[in-house]
Structure 1
Amino acid sequence: MGLLSRTQQLLLRQRRQSCRHFWSWLNAVFNKVDHERIKAVGPDRAAAEWLLRCGAKVRFEGFERWHHDYNGLPTGPLGRYKIQAIDATESCIMYQGFDYLDGLKYVEEIKLKKCVYIEDACMERLSSVESLQQSLYMMEVVSCGNVTDKGIISLHRLRNLEYLFLSDLPGVKDKQLTVDRLQRALPRLDIDLDLD
């Protein structure tokens, strides 16, 4: 008793694959960029909606608390609320949605923790956003298994980055060389490394 038959094992495996496919599809829908919405409500509001839809949190300039409830986003005149910090811990943000980052001029801090869809292409896209190159000064990348040395090194374009915390990144193979290359590109950067 207690042992599953071969047929039961096959059915269970198929059910898991089907469930995984459904969640991947749904997450891709949440990350689809709506350029008309960005034009209608501005980049900060549209990005906040995207981030909260995907399970992340945002903190607006002048606010102490984090917003995590999509229906609780503050209302008011367009452009009034500017995103100052993003906490994407365990969210489903993925590359497709990163166009929402364009035009965010006040983001000072980004936390990417346990984000299963974050990969090198996401890191490269994030670091290519001109406004983030100027505003972002603090970043954490923790337990994002698809980020490799290439993704970390791409952060060299974030010229005002002052603090970077890296932890539990199994895809980063040559840790010291990666850190050294990033440090040479950004001499003011303080890198806190916990990759072992």
Structure 2
Amino acid sequence: MASGIRLLQKVSRVTSQWNRTGHKILSRDADPCFIQRRHFLGWLNSVFNKVDDDRIKEVGPDRAAAEWLLRCGASVRWKGFNHIEKDYNSLPGGSFDRYKIEEIDASGSCIMFIGFPHLNGLNHVTKVILHECIYLEDNALEYLSYIKETLKVLQISRCPNITKDGLSKLVVLENLQQLVLFQLPEVIDKEETKHMLQNALPKCQVQFLENKKEKSQEENT
């Protein structure tokens, strides 16, 4: 299991680098062996993102969500702790109720929409970074409503499949204080999208920094 996780994270980092340099991930003329590897990777991603209801009942939503995120190459910070949890094999044992997720950084991870129901039951998440999530699609963003009561800061950047329709699902995040967006190539009318979000979320500072070479918030802190 651990070796499979490390392999997936390594391949995810490589494909993310290809995206940043503008190379095609897959084309009709691609090598057949490469296509097979892509199909295998897609299957492996689905396995790692799958929601296990029995596991959630056994260990609670925060622990189960942390396992999902770290399997996929993301990281979390527990409420009351400064340490960033990145290693699946280093997840704390003992009383699971002690550990509540406060921050999620999914930069460069392979999270997919089928894993987002893991957010249900998380009551302490204040910050989420979705940066270079190449498998992230619009339908995942509606699941952020599970954490709308506590979510204060959200960044969505360099996610090539996110469109205006997906961003429109963020209007339910009524307690959001800061929304940072940049390098979302499928969002065509960026100014209109920004105004739509700002009007729907008047208490939130909405930033669309498409023309700037911004790093993720995690890199800037």
Specify the alignment match of 2:180 in structure 1: 165
TM normalised by structure 2 equals 0.81
Question: CA 1:185–1:49 in structure 2 vs 1: closer, same or farther (change >3 Å)?
Answer: same
Decide which moves more: 11-20 or 104-113.
11-20
One-letter amino acid of the counterpart of residue 190, structure 2: K
Specify the alignment match of 1:4 in structure 2: none
Aligned equivalent of 1:139, options 142, 154, 162: 154
Specify the alignment match of 1:49 in structure 2: 67
Moved beyond 3 Å, runs of 4+: none
- Does residue 1:74 correspond to 2:92, yes or no? yes
CA distance in 1, matches of 2:148, 2:37: 38
Larger Rg: 1
- Does residue 1:17 correspond to 2:32, yes or no? no
- Does residue 1:155 correspond to 2:173, yes or no? no
- Does residue 1:62 correspond to 2:80, yes or no? yes
Aligned equivalent of 1:183, options 184, 187, 198: 198
Q: What's the RMSD between the two structures over aligned residues?
A: 1.4
Deviation string for 1:38-94 (max 9, x for gaps)?
000000000000000000000000111210101111122131100000000010110
TM normalised by structure 1 equals 0.91
Specify the alignment match of 1:117 in structure 2: 135
Structure 1 position 153, deviation (Å): 1.6
Question: CA 1:79–1:13 in structure 2 vs 1: closer, same or farther (change >3 Å)?
Answer: same
The percentage of aligned residue pairs carrying the same residue is: 48
What stretches of structure 1 of length at least 5 have no aligned partner? 1-9
Aligned equivalent of 2:48, options 26, 30, 39: 30
One-letter amino acid of the counterpart of residue 136, structure 2: I
